[in-house]
Amino acid sequence: DTEVTQTPKHLVMGMTNKKSLKCEQHMGHRAMYWYKQKAKKPPELMFVYSYEKLSINESVPSRFSPECPNSSLLNLHLHALQPEDSALYLCASSQELVPTRLDNEQFFGPGTRLTVL
Amino acid sequence: GEDVEQSLFLSVREGDSSVINCTYTDSSSTYLYWYKQEPGAGLQLLTYIFSNMDMKQDQRLTVLLNKKDKHLSLRIADTQTGDSAIYFCAVPGGSYIPTFGRGTSLIVHP
């Protein structure tokens, strides 16, 4: 199984709503990532978890709250978002954050298309 | 940090070869990647090359690496309409996390 799954595929929410994005992988990867991607732009790194601990937070506003309940799951909790937060949110995983082997490529999920009204 | 540059657009005829170029600044990367993104989808790893290699061939894909000039290219032979997508060069820097180029939109027309 070399797949990263993300749910939901699409999400529309108001600025006062609370919602969560979910990501799952069963490849035994110990590093998991959240990216935000706006149209026609490269993915921008938001958070990185390594061995279920938050390792990197790229100065993301607190209205985005990540959670890693176990080694296979990664959540992104959303609260009081702004319309400019509308984007494709991508989850990725890799063997490890600091690679001990050369093939430490990232595997990406299909993304959640988020629209904030 | 790492800086990765790509041209934004490439238009080719079906059946021709496509060459997508990428330049980067951090020479410490041990491996470099090419990802493909189709409209509305996530990123799909196409291929990667180790920094001790000059060339890697994988069916219709050829990756060339010039470490001295910090230049990476992806050649797609016999380009098909299904190859139309955005192609991202990704280069891990000192943090081991890939820095993505802005992406090259490949348009294949009949």
Distance CA B68, CA B58 (A): 23
Please tell me if residue B87 touches chain A, with a CB cutoff of 8 Å: no
Residue numbers in A near B98 (CB within 8 A):
106
- Peptide bond before residue A8 is cis, with ω within 30 degrees of 0: yes
Q: How many CB pairs (< 8 A) connect A and B?
A: 54
Distance from the Cα of A80 to chain B's closest Cα (Å) equals: 25
- pLDDT band at residue B40 using 50, 70 and 90 as cut-offs: confident
Look at residue B1 in the predicted model and tell me its pLDDT.
67
Q: Where are the beta strands (DSSP E) in chain B?
A: 4-6, 9-13, 18-24, 31-37, 43-50, 55-58, 61-66, 71-76, 85-92, 98-100, 104-109
- CA distance to partner chain B, nearest, from residue A70 (Å): 21
Judge: A40–B50 Cβ closer than 8 Å, yes or no: no
Structure confidence by residue, pLDDT tens digits, A29-71: 999 999 999 988 999 999 999 999 999 999 999 999 999 999 9
User: A96 pLDDT band (50/70/90 cuts)?
Assistant: confident
